[in-house]
Structure 1
Amino acid sequence: MSTRAAAPTRREQILREAARLFAERGFHGVGVDEIGAAVGISGPGLYRHFAGKDAMLAELLVGISERLLTGGRYRVAEAAGDPSAVLSSLIDGHIDFALDDRPLITLHDRELDRLRDEDRKLVRQLQRQYVELWVEVVRELHPTVPGAEVRSAVHAVFGLLNSTPHLGSAAQAPGLPDRAATESLLRRLAHGAFTALTP
């Protein structure tokens, strides 16, 4: 049986390049023609896949919020009954996102307000559900810690992990940690933050 990942669809290619370009130059700094050129089609050809740049941005930000929540729920179910294992799995999953989808973190920070109200509300709703997955698990591990403090700790860990767009990479600057070292560091810091909840 082959273990090779399926080649990305044209739609997925467009979204990946749109995310990269939007993150590099801002939503308004990128034209449809540039996105098309990045995937080898004409700008007008993009309209066979998306209604426009607004639709791309919405699919990127709603899509990653849905993917995080779905992945989080899967991880909770997979390690059910062992909150320590669940938390480790959630941390690992979010680290993968933070290292592999840096442009989406930048997009969320800069461009969320450009979404239509209904899309922005959906992103926020999905994010709240994702946060609550983490809060429930951390409260199982630290039952004496007030819920508000646990929730603050979860948000703080997200802030830590989502700082990856600012880290650079070993390829960009020799001497910086490579992916494996960065992943290990983020994992230790995240676990340390939650351990610190109980004096």
Structure 2
Amino acid sequence: MSVDNRRTARKAVTGDSAPREIRRRPKNRRAQIAAASAAAFGSLGYHGVSMEDIASGLGISSAALYRHYPSKYALFREELLRVGKAMTESVEVGADGEPSAPRERLRQVIDALVGATIENRPSITLVRWEGRYLDEADRQTLDEQQLSVLDALGDRIGELRPELTENDRRVLRATMLSVITSIADHHATLPTKALVRLLGSACLAIADAPLPPAEKTAEVPVVVEIPDSFKHELLLRKAVELFHDRGYPNVSVEEIATAAGLSAASAVYRFYRGKSDLLAAAFRRAAERVSGAIGPAVAAAPNPEAALTDLISHYVDGSFAERALTFVYYTEFQHVPVEERTALRNIQRLSVEEWARLLREVRPELSPAEARFLVHAAFALVVDLGRSFDSAPFAAQARVRLLMQVVLFGRPAAE
């Protein structure tokens, strides 16, 4: 403890064994609490953290923590809206400081947003995936903040490409924001300048993307019907749908049983050990869907670009067919049983490494880390466009496939 944060009281009585140390509360205690809670929420999610966890991490009592914040929700709310505000402010460039060329104006906004995202990387994951746990009024504030960011990107895209329709601009701006904020979905590292350059180049390639014509009608994924007798599979599907709609912590085994047509929660345990076992099964299925496609694609393709193009199509097809599973895969990992996490992480890591290896054969100028960042960004844009636009014709599979290609290759794939 520094001298500034302590003072020593005089001995009250001759013969006291030692002077008594009186601790002063640090002047930046509130900022320390905010930083510690942001790290905890970012790692474990809103429901995975308690006030006692945050207090323990800071070496203070729960009572001391409650003197600064009345509840865990107050901490959570403050951090999400702080980060949302930081992102909004980053794109508010004054007219006097803007370049005149449309491409440079877009690049200026992109670089500013990338910088704010890197600076707040541990908490960006909260904005991406945990905002649904905000109260309605706070969630509306966060949505307005995000819309301001999207509007800034969309305005610059419109200046650069005035021929685009409003829906085209919406797709491109959402893709850019997804690529930038995807750095919160993983722990790969790059020096800041290199990361700004990489994400900026990817976003400019997105701005130039030659979007295929929008579909005339919405795509309706074919859902395979599960007979009532296949309770094991039916339970898994219904659990994933509920986790997607309400979040894993807010779903009970009883509700899963009811959704699957079972008379009692106890019937679930004939098929799964519990709710967490259902979540682990969902994660294994999502991870193996990606990993299992790699070998056949590489074996059948004449070159790495063709293999990656096939993998992109497979990934988009699977994600559109199982939207809820794809979303749950991104949002609920902290709730997977601890004993399952290592195996799942290994499957995820190996899949990303294989995609990155193929990408570096197409683009040898990329470092291994840069290739991994782009692979994560390509994966993220699929789930982000899905939750933003669902099955809207202007965000159909053909467009999503092309945007994945542009993020990875810097251009559409070769015919």
TM-score bin, normalised by smaller chain: 0.7 to 0.9
Cross-structure match for 2:329: 108
Deviations 1:59-102 (A, max 9, x none): 111222122211222222222x4212101111001111221222
Q: Distance in 1 between matches of 2:249 and 2:366?
A: 44
The alignment status of 1:59 with 2:259, answered yes or no, reads: no
Shift of 1:7: 4.8
Which residue, 16, 22, 27 being the options, matches 2:237? Answer: 16
Cross-structure match for 2:402: 188
Cross-structure match for 2:270: 48
Shift of 1:183: 0.3
Q: 2:393 is paired with a residue of what secondary structure?
A: coil
Gaps of 5+ in 2: 1-223
Q: Which amino acid aligns with 1:12?
A: E
Q: 1:31 to 1:145 in 2, by over 3 A?
A: closer
The structure whose RCO (Cα within 8 Å, separation 6+) is larger is 1
Alignment of 1:138-157 (within 5 A): 138-157=359-378
Indicate the structure (1 or 2) with the bigger Cα radius of gyration. Answer: 2
The alignment status of 1:72 with 2:294, answered yes or no, reads: yes
Q: Distance in 2 between matches of 1:7 and 1:158?
A: 28
Cross-structure match for 1:122: 343
Which residue, 315, 319, 334 being the options, matches 1:94? Answer: 315
| Count of residue correspondences | 185
Contact 2:286 2:326 (C-alpha < 8 Å) held by counterparts: no
Q: 1:153 to 1:169 in 2, by over 3 A?
A: closer
Q: Distance in 2 between matches of 1:54 and 1:61?
A: 11
Which residue, 285, 290, 305 being the options, matches 1:84? Answer: 305
Q: Distance in 2 between matches of 1:110 and 1:90?
A: 23
Contact 2:291 2:351 (C-alpha < 8 Å) held by counterparts: yes
Q: Distance in 2 between matches of 1:165 and 1:22?
A: 16
Q: 1:156 to 1:63 in 2, by over 3 A?
A: same
Deviations 1:28-83 (A, max 9, x none): 2222222122221122211111111011011111222122211222222222x421
Report which stretch shifted further, 5-14 or 32-41: 5-14
Q: 1:41 is paired with a residue of what secondary structure?
A: coil
Cross-structure match for 1:158: 379
Q: 1:10 to 1:34 in 2, by over 3 A?
A: same
Q: Percent identity, please.
A: 32
Q: 1:25 to 1:6 in 2, by over 3 A?
A: closer
TM-score by length of 2: 0.42
Q: 2:376 is paired with a residue of what secondary structure?
A: helix
Deviations 1:146-171 (A, max 9, x none): 2222222111111112214422335x
TM-score by length of 1: 0.83
Gaps of 5+ in 1: 171-175
Q: CA RMSD in A?
A: 2.1
Cross-structure match for 1:33: 254
Q: 1:161 is paired with a residue of what secondary structure?
A: helix
